Amino acid sequence: MTSDTSIQTAGVSRRAVLLGSTTLAATIALSLSRPASAQAATPPHIVYIVSDDQGWKDVGFHGSDIKTPNIDGLAAAGAELMQFYAQPMCSQTRAAMLTGRYPLRTGFQTTVIPSGGLYGVPMDEYLLPQAMKDAGYETALVGKWHIGHAKTEFWPRQRGFDYFYGAMVGEIDHFKHEAHGEGDWYRNNDRIEEEGYDTTLFGNEAVKRIEGHDASKPLYLYLAFTAPHTPYQAPDEALAKYPEIADTSRRTYAAMITAMDDQIGRVLEALDKKGMRENTLIVFHSDNGGTRSAKFTGESKVTGELPPNNGPYRDGKGTLYEGGTRVVALANWPGKIKPGKVDGMIHVVDMYPTLVSLAGGALDKAKPLDGLDVWATISEGKVSPRTEVVYNVQPWAAAVRQGDWKLVWQTMIPGKLELFNIADDPAEATNLTEANPVEVQKLQSRITELAAEAAPNLFLKDAFRLVVSETPSTPEGYFEVSD
């Protein structure tokens, strides 16, 4: 197989025949120093939007009755990413996106950082905003962090963001901005108190960042909403849009998504007014699948049928099935992204090298990446370079997909192996293990290989600290599964 690098080098050689050997060497060196993806003539502004626990189907363009006209418009004029994978839970996905590495590499393979957790993404990881700053970008995070809050060194301003406004932990009251009765609302490194619905406040702040930005400098704005994560809360004006929905939880859930969509519309309007829209790449996706089991709702006590809908995909948040990991996603950049459905595999780790390459940045400060540059797939619908997805690998459960084959391996007694052909059976209804022992063995070997490479599990290590402490005390909410 011919590598991308050899193709580039061959192309350079043909062009340089008449230029002499010195020019040839210099040209080759320059070519090999650039990222694989073609750098944009003018680096784009990037607005990277993440929703929280949103079901795959819970947008208008996937057939939902939930009103999302602004998100729908972005999808219609951009690329709908049909096989975009995140991690099963929040902290895992955010760590994967910001490092370009699977959570098993960073110790984030188990659950999320609880409110009492003392760990964060390791400080020797070079995060995406740091790489974007190196490329000349102004960087800002508006919204949810949740990859380290116990020490200031883990906070956004210390990890590459020029500006931060929002919440540090997993689940907050959307009006009070607190968790376990403690305020969790920050501007940069300062805790502040503000009134208002968090989704609206995030929209306000994102608009301010755009309005005050010097458009001659590229902007990387990470807009991480807390909607529609529990607790299900929405302002009256948003609830009033759904008088036909009788179920209280679903009515509020729908209102939360529409309230978020309204703020995305305000961001688009601000970009237009600033003259930035035509050179802005917008990415949107959920951090994991919608919640289908009450044990993954976090600290909120939700009863009855949970409202998120993952469409044809099995189960939801916290699981290794498609419903927990294949998320609603799109990318939009006027004139640069071909509108339509993109059906190649893309994982959230791919966004690190893809965005840094578009920015004209370098990847040399990052640890070895699991992410691949998928810009040609996103922008032109070309075949994805990704042939494998690692859903997660932890001691009691793991899943890997290679090509169309996916193995889900539950090792806890009594244990279970499930093999699916995702192309034929995206709903994961038929277990094919008995008929395909070779595929099972191949994928089990891959999981075992990955497990041997895994970093120490930070959640278990931190929990063990509490168990062996001379004066053990479990902070309230430590073992809550909240993200």
Whole-number pLDDT of residue 329: 98
Is 216 inside any structural domain?
Answer: yes
Cross-strand bridge partners of residue 80: 330, 341
Q: What are phi and psi of 277, to 5 degrees?
A: -60, -40
66 and 110 together in one domain:
yes
From residue 429, give the alpha-carbon distance in Å to each of 291, 343, 434.
19, 21, 15
Whole-number pLDDT of residue 459: 93
Q: Does residue 347 have an active-site annotation?
A: no
423 and 362 together in one domain:
no
244 and 191 together in one domain:
yes
Q: How far apart are the first and last CA of the chain?
A: 43
Instruction: Express each pLDDT in 407-461 by its tens digit.
Output: 999 998 889 999 999 999 999 999 999 999 999 999 999 999 999 999 999 999 9
Mean pLDDT, range 155-178, rounded to an integer: 96
pLDDT at residue 34 greater than cutoff 80: no
Whole-number pLDDT of residue 89: 96
Is 471 inside any structural domain?
Answer: no
Among residues 198, 207, 249, the alpha carbon closest in space to that of 226 is found at 198
- How far is it, in rounded angstroms, from Cα 367 to Cα 274? 36
- How far is it, in rounded angstroms, from Cα 262 to Cα 268? 10
106 and 215 together in one domain:
yes
Domain limits for position 110: 45-387
Is 16 inside any structural domain?
Answer: no
292 and 406 together in one domain:
no
272 and 356 together in one domain:
yes
229 and 88 together in one domain:
yes
334 and 359 together in one domain:
yes
- How far is it, in rounded angstroms, from Cα 125 to Cα 385? 24
Indicate which CATH number applies to the domain containing 284. 3.40.720.10
Buried b / exposed e across 276-304, counting CB within 10 Å, b at 16+?
bbebbbbbbbbbbbbbbeeebbbbeebee
**pTM exceeds cut of 0.85:** yes
Among residues 90, 149, 229, 347, which one is catalytic? 90
280 and 329 together in one domain:
yes
Cα angle for residues 175, 180, 184 (degrees, 5° grid): 55
Whole-number pLDDT of residue 366: 98
Whole-number pLDDT of residue 29: 35
Is 34 inside any structural domain?
Answer: no
- How far is it, in rounded angstroms, from Cα 21 to Cα 29? 12
416 and 345 together in one domain:
no
**Strands 219-224, 138-144: pairing kind:** parallel
89 and 178 together in one domain:
yes
Among residues 62, 146, 177, 347, which one is catalytic? 146
Instruction: Express each pLDDT in 278-326 by its tens digit.
Output: 999 999 999 999 998 666 666 566 766 799 999 999 999 999 999 999 9
Q: Does residue 90 have an active-site annotation?
A: yes
Tokens of 101: 């590495």
Is 122 inside any structural domain?
Answer: yes
Residue 466's pLDDT band, with cuts at 50, 70 and 90, is low
Is 215 inside any structural domain?
Answer: yes
The torsion of the CA quartet 142, 147, 148, 152, rounded to 10 degrees, works out to: -40
Q: Which residues contact 215 (CB under 8 A, 6 or more apart)?
A: 45, 274, 275, 276
Q: What is the DSSP letter of 161?
A: -
CB of 375 within 8 A of CB of 46? no
Indicate which CATH number applies to the domain containing 421. 3.30.1120.10
- How far is it, in rounded angstroms, from Cα 237 to Cα 255? 9
Is 470 inside any structural domain?
Answer: no
Q: What is the DSSP letter of 294?
A: G
285 and 356 together in one domain:
yes
Q: How many folded domains does the chain comprise?
A: 2
